[in-house]
Chains A and B, each alone.
Chain A
Amino acid sequence: MDSAAIVGVGMTAIEKNKIRDGFADMVWEAVNLALDDAGMTIDDIDNVVTTSNDFWDGRTISCMAVSDASGAREKNVSCVEGDGTFGAFYGLTRILSGSYGTTLVTAHSKGSESVSSLITNAAFDPIYQRAIGMDMVSACAMQANAYMHRSRTTPEQLARVSVKNHGNARHNPKAQLPMAITVEEVLASEMICDPLHKLDCSPVSDGCCAMIIAAKDRVGTAAKPPVWIKGAAFCADAFHLGDRDLSRAAALTRAAKKAFDMAGITDPATQVHVAELYDAFTYQELMWLEAMGLCADNQAGHLLEAGVFDIDGTLPVNASGGLLSGHPVIAAGLIRMAEVVRQLRGEAGGAQAKDPTVGVAQGVNGLCGQSHCVWVLSAES
C-alpha cells in the first residue's frame, strides 16, 4: 500500500499537569507544530478528525472543545473516541475513499484533570463487574501475572523495560520522566498492585499530538519527505477478561498480521527496524513484542537483556522513552506513530536508530489490551 503518507507531525511536551492549558490550548499548539512541520497552512487541510474520550475529558461530546483549535471550522470534521491510532485510521480511510486529499488528525488528553482509577473503573461492565472495584492498574497487574506465569518472564526483566525506556527518554526533550535508574530501584519502588511497582507503571500525563496524512498526489506539496503508510489494521478481542487467554494478545496478533501482510512483510522480526509500542506497563512492551511477531514467544525478556531493543540494538523499541516516560492516554498511540515518523526521517537526535526504513507503531483501547491498532510505516515508497 502506497496510497497515503504522513507529511506532518506535531506534539506538545508531555507533562504531569499543564495547568495553563485547556484542551483547545494543547490542540492549537500541536496542530500549528504539525502544520509547520508539513510546510502547510490550515487552508491546505481538507478535513479533520479529532480523537478524545468523554470520560477522560469529563465532558460528553468532548471533541467539541477542540474543533476551532483544530481548524475544523467550515471543514468536514469527525470525532473518534479511543486511542489516537484509531483516529488516524479513520483519517486514513477518509483519504483512501477519495473524498479528501489531506486529513489533520489530533488526539489529546489531560490525565491531570480526573481521577484515573475512577475513569478506568467505568470501563468495567456495570452489571457483572464494576462493584468489584477494579481499575486499569489492577486489571493489568492481573494480566502481568498471567503473562509472567506463562512466559517465565521475571520481575527483573520487567524492571529492565523501565530502565531502558526512562533512560531513552533522556534523549527526548518532550518526555515527562527522563531518568537514569537501575533495575534495583524499579524493584524497590512502591508496590502499586502485585506484580507492578510504581516504576513498572506509566505516569498520569497531559499532552496532545497532531498529524497530517496526505494522499499520494498531495505529498509533493509537503516540506519534508513523506513517511508512507504501508499497512494499518485494528482488531478487538472479547470484552470479559475471563473470556480471553489473558496471557496472550490474540487481537494484536491478528491486527499485526494484517498490517504486515498489507506491507508485504513476511518476517517482522528482521524486516522492522524500529518499533514504538504501547508500554503503559513494563510487561506490555514484552507481551506486545511477542504478540506482534517482532520476537519469538517467551523470548522478549531475554532479548531485552541482550540489548536487542536498545537504541543501538537490532530492533530499538520505544527509543523515545515510550509511555513509561509520559502517558497522555488517547494521544498515546498517535505519539507512537509520530515518534516512528521522526525515526524514519532521521530526526530522533540522541535516540536515533541507525538508518531505519521500516517502523511499526501500536495503539490500544480498552482493558488489558482488548483492542489494538497497528501501523507499518516506511521511509521508502
Chain B
Amino acid sequence: MSDTEHVIIESGAARQPFNYAVGLHGSRFLQELRDHRRFMAVKCPRCAKVYIPPRRVCGACFVEMDEFVEVGPQGTIGTFTILRYAFIDPETGVQKPVPYGYGFIRLDGADTLFQHYIDIQDESRVKIGARVEPVFADERKGTVKDIRCFRIID
C-alpha cells in the first residue's frame, strides 16, 4: 500500500436527465422563432418595459404580463466579450472551439438584452453600439439555438 497514493472516486457516466418546462410565454417565443423567425417580447402593462425573453411576471411591478410585441430582428450590441479560453459544455460534454464572440444584443424595440453568440470574422467591427442581425439555423427546433449567432451589419 502506497502512502502517497491519493484515492479518487470518479462519477463516470453518471448524469442527470431533465425535462424542463418552458412555460407558455417562453413556448410562444420559441414557436414564433422556429416557425416565423420572429422575436416576440412581452410588455409590462404597468411600467411598459419590453422584456425579452418574454416571461410571465414583471419583477419590478409584480404584475402578470400578456401583451406580446414583436421586436428586432435587428439590434445593437449592448455589451460583449470575445472568449479565448476553452471549457467543457456541461450539456454536451464537449469543448466549444475558441475564440468566439459572446454578447448581449439590444433588439430594436426591447428594453432588456438578448444573450447570444456574435460573429467575430472581423474583430475590429465588434464593439458596443454596433448594428447586428440574427443568422438563423437552417433547421430550427424551437430553442435559442435556432439562431446561430448575430452578425455585424454596419
A67 and B20 contact, CB distance less than 8 A: no
B59 and A73 contact, CB distance less than 8 A: yes
Main secondary structure of the interface of A (DSSP, over half): loop
Residue B85 is within 8 A (CB to CB) of chain A in the complex = no
A21 and B21 contact, CB distance less than 8 A: yes
A20 and B16 contact, CB distance less than 8 A: no
Q: A20-B24, A22-B22, A67-B59 are in contact. Are A127 and B9 (CB under 8 A)?
A: yes
The bracket for how many chain A residues form the interface is 20 to 34
The answer for the CA separation of A205 and B78 in the assembled complex, in Å, is: 41
How many interface residues does B have (CB within 8 Å)?
Answer: 21
Q: Mark A5-37, 1 if CB is under 8 A from B, else 0.
A: 000000000000011111011001000000000
Q: Mark B137-149, 1 if CB is under 8 A from A, else 0.
A: 0000000000000
Residue B56 is within 8 A (CB to CB) of chain A in the complex = yes
- Interfacial residues of chain B within 46-63, with CB under 8 A of chain A in the complex: 55-60, 62
In angstroms, how far is the closest chain A Cβ from the Cβ of B36? 22
B56 and A20 contact, CB distance less than 8 A: no
Residues of A within 8 A of B14 (CB): 118
- Interfacial residues of chain B within 81-126, with CB under 8 A of chain A in the complex: none
Q: A21-B23, A25-B23, A28-B64 are in contact. Are A68 and B57 (CB under 8 A)?
A: yes
The answer for the CA separation of A131 and B13 in the assembled complex, in Å, is: 12
Contact of B56 among A67, A69, A72, A119 (CB under 8 A): A69
Which B residues lie at the A interface, using CB under 8 A?
9, 11, 14, 16-24, 26, 55-60, 62, 64
22 residue pairs A–B, Cβ–Cβ below 8 Å: A20-B23, A20-B24, A22-B26, A24-B55, A24-B57, A25-B56, A28-B56, A28-B57, A28-B64, A42-B62, A58-B16, A58-B20, A69-B57, A72-B59, A73-B59, A112-B19, A113-B20, A113-B21, A114-B16, A118-B14, A122-B16, A127-B9
